[in-house]
Structure 1
């Protein structure tokens, strides 16, 4: 599929998706969301791709949120229809057990912040700014942002940001635990690639099982309930991991004092 609003790149087991609308601060229209959904569906389905990075074109913005001009022109809900996987193909994406990194290269407002929150790890340039300003234009962060932020930084800090529609810089986002690493703009993609490489040193099926168990476990009241669900076979990625060739490779490599050669099967 030829894309108009995004670019994609494969580099071995790494997949990079760039929101390519720098003239509008990488704002995401419904058409751009559908392109992102298509690309991320392909990433999710491809056994040779193990990690993804999502970033924005240019130095000013990761994504400034929804395309307000398109939103204002919409006459019906169908005119602003998002894919089943949600805004940016990310906010309702619940089936992807592969890790996705957000490389936030500037402003991440509204839906842009929600896309970043939907990723597993965020790295940010030092000029990055995060916020959910929707109440300032009469709406709310309805694409999972309110729920994710409260779960990720705690109720009171989230309420402070959400009810005032405030923004925070990369350093503060790091203090709150939202951002794993803050680097200069010129070092951002290198930092994201290094993080991806660190992940890919681990067995991909083990990484996928870990992600599924961590996120799936949050659906239970506490650790005992999550552990019981795990032991009852609720997280199928664990069974796939335990029956894989890679688990044998990992054990053999450890005993033979060599680096494992993962196959993802």
Structure 2
């Protein structure tokens, strides 16, 4: 599929997906959301892709938010449908078996922060700024931000960030546990790609099942989560990757995983 607002480059099992609207600070309009959902499905079923790095074009923004010019003319029904469209896009990414790493290279605001929170983890530039400014526009986060942020950093800090509409520095985002690690701007994308390459080099099914166990276990009691983990652990022993991985360990050689 050809995209008007996205770039995809794949090398050695790692796909770098770039939101490419630098003239609009990579803002998310309806077309971009449609393209992102399609790209996530495409990458999910591309056998050459083992991990994804998601970033924004230019030096100023990862994604500066949803497109306010487009939203300004919406009525209540249209606003509801726009939120559902954004949530569909986020869920398409979150449900991918393929891990996605956000490389936040600048502003990640509103829908942009929601997009980053939908990734499996976040690396950020030391110059990045993150926040939910929706309340300053008379609205609230609508692409899953109220749910994902509270689950990630707890209710009180999520309340503070969302209710005040303030931006936080990369350092504070790191301290609060929103991002995993900070890098100088010029090192961010290579470091994210390096992490993705490490993921691409291990058992694809093991990673996919672990992602499934973590995501679904958060919605279970701890005891049920343990049971679910054990069931997935057992299923992996019926795979070629498990046989190859353990044989390679015993034989002291590098495993060659096939995702089967």
After TM superposition, the score normalised by the length of structure 1 is 0.91
CA distance in 2, matches of 1:193, 1:207: 17
- In the alignment, structure 1 segments of 5+ residues that lack a partner are none
Once residues 82 and 240 of structure 1 are traced to their aligned partners in structure 2, the CA distance between those partners, rounded to angstroms, is: 39
Partners of 2:84 and 2:143 within 8 A in 1: no
Q: Distance in 1 between matches of 2:28 and 2:141?
A: 14
Change (3 A) 1:98 1:130: same
1:239–1:13: structure 2 CA closer, same or farther, 3 Å change rule?
farther
**Distance verdict in 2 for CA 1:170–1:179, change over 3 Å:** same
Residues in 1 aligned to 2:76 and 2:136: alpha-carbon distance in whole angstroms: 22
The residue that corresponds to 2:182 in the other structure is 182
Written as runs of structure 1 = structure 2, the 5 A alignment for 1:210-225 is 210-221=210-221, 223-225=222-224
Determine if contact 1:91/1:143 at 8 Å carries over to the other structure: no
- The alignment's C-alpha RMSD in Å is 2.1
1:257 corresponds to = 252
CA contact (8 A) 1:37 1:85 kept: no
Q: Residues of 1 paired with 2:101 and 2:189: CA distance?
A: 11
- State yes or no: 1:155 paired with 2:150: no
1:89 Cα offset (Å): 2.2
Instruction: Summarize the alignment of residues 198-217 of structure 1 with structure 2, pairs less than 5 Å apart.
Output: 198-217=198-217
- Which runs of 4 or more aligned residues in structure 1 lie more than 6 Å from their structure 2 counterparts after TM superposition? none
Partner residue, 1:28: 28
8 A contact 2:40–2:96 mirrored in 1: no
Match of 1:59 in 2: 59
- Structure 2: give runs of 5+ residues left out of the alignment: none
Helix, strand or coil for the counterpart of 1:103?
strand
Instruction: Report which structure shows greater RCO (CA 8 Å, sep ≥6).
Output: 2
Separation in structure 2 between the aligned mates of residue 159 and residue 10 of structure 1, nearest angstrom: 38
Residue 143 (1) aligns with residue 138 (2): no
Say which SS state the counterpart of residue 256 (structure 2) adopts: coil
Is the alpha carbon distance of 1:76 and 1:149 closer, same or farther for their aligned partners in structure 2, counting shifts above 3 Å?
closer
Distance verdict in 2 for CA 1:171–1:102, change over 3 Å: same
Q: Which moved more, 1:54-63 or 1:7-16?
A: 7-16
* Structure 1 position 80, deviation (Å): 8.2
1:227 counterpart residue number: 226
> Matched residues in 2 for 1:88 and 1:130: separation?
22
Partner of 1:15: 15
Q: Which moved more, 1:2-11 or 1:105-114?
A: 2-11
Residue 48 of structure 1: CA displacement? 2.7
Distance in 2 separating the partners of 1:181 and 1:34: 30
Contact 2:13 2:49 in 1 (8 A): yes
Shift of 1:47: 2.9
Contact 1:86–1:92 (CA under 8 A) maintained in structure 2: no
Contact 1:86 1:93 in 2 (8 A): no
